[in-house]
Amino acid sequence: MQDFVDSGGFSFCEKMKASLRINLLFYTCAGVAGGGLLIFVAVTQHLGFSEVMKVAISLGNAFGLVLLLLMLGYGLVDVPRKIWRLANKPVLLLQYQFEGSEILERKAKAEQELKDTIEAIHKAKNQLFSRNLEPFMDIVLQKVCLSNYLYILHHAHIEPYMLCHFCVIDSAVPRS
């Protein structure tokens, strides 16, 4: 898992390839060392095939149990660590304030985009009315709700006569 996180790949496949390559190298080296140790013990102790198989099975079980304990240890440590972090109110408050400021920035950006869109619609409305293309403007205005007009026009300090134009146009648009 750590090799997957630490790899320099940009996609899931690249990270998985790097992680598998590193893990394959590690387990190959560990297997060769374990096999060499098993052969050394078999030769020095004059063990037969059945005894060597028993030792190999015991080593496999021991490796599995150690791996299980290591994986459980991470989970047993990570859960209290998360609870501990959640209990630290000043740090949690700072984190939420940081996230709140990011949300506020995104909100301001979205409001500015909405204001720009409404101004573009207003400019298009003036051009379309002079060319007698009002039905097409009605279709555009159906897509934008009046509450967005009122909010942006109120907060954007646009002249009141523009608000009247939007309200008259919006009330003339049939709702489905």
83 and 115 in one domain? Answer: no
pLDDT in tens, 147-159: 555 555 555 555 5
Structure tokens at 153: 């026009």
Task: Give the closest residue to 63 by CA, choosing from 35, 94, 93.
Answer: 35
Residue at a domain's end among 88, 122, 157: 88
133 and 70 in one domain? Answer: no
Residue at a domain's end among 88, 117, 139: 88
Task: Give dist(CA 109, CA 144) in Å, integer.
Answer: 18
Instruction: Report pTM.
Output: 0.37
Structure tokens at 49: 């095939």
155 and 129 in one domain? Answer: yes
Q: Distances in Å between the alpha carbon of 139 and those of 27, 78, 143, 163? A: 66, 55, 7, 19
What is the number of domains present in the chain?
A: 2
pLDDT in tens, 33-82: 988 988 888 889 888 888 888 988 998 899 888 888 877 766 667 767 77
128 and 112 in one domain? Answer: yes
104 and 28 in one domain? Answer: no
One-character DSSP codes across 66-81? HHHHHHHHHHHHHHHH
98 and 42 in one domain? Answer: no
76 and 9 in one domain? Answer: yes
128 and 82 in one domain? Answer: no
83 and 8 in one domain? Answer: yes
Residue at a domain's end among 40, 69, 88: 88
17 and 44 in one domain? Answer: yes
78 and 104 in one domain? Answer: no
Q: Mean pLDDT, the chain, as a whole number? A: 76
Task: Give dist(CA 171, CA 142) in Å, integer.
Answer: 10
98 and 25 in one domain? Answer: no
Structure tokens at 55: 């030792």
Q: Which domain holds residue 129?
A: 93-172
Q: Position 36: which residue type?
A: G
Give the per-residue SS3 of 139-155.
HHHHHCCHHHHHHHHHH
pLDDT in tens, 118-130: 777 777 777 766 6
Q: Please name the residue that has the structure tokens 């240890």.
A: 73
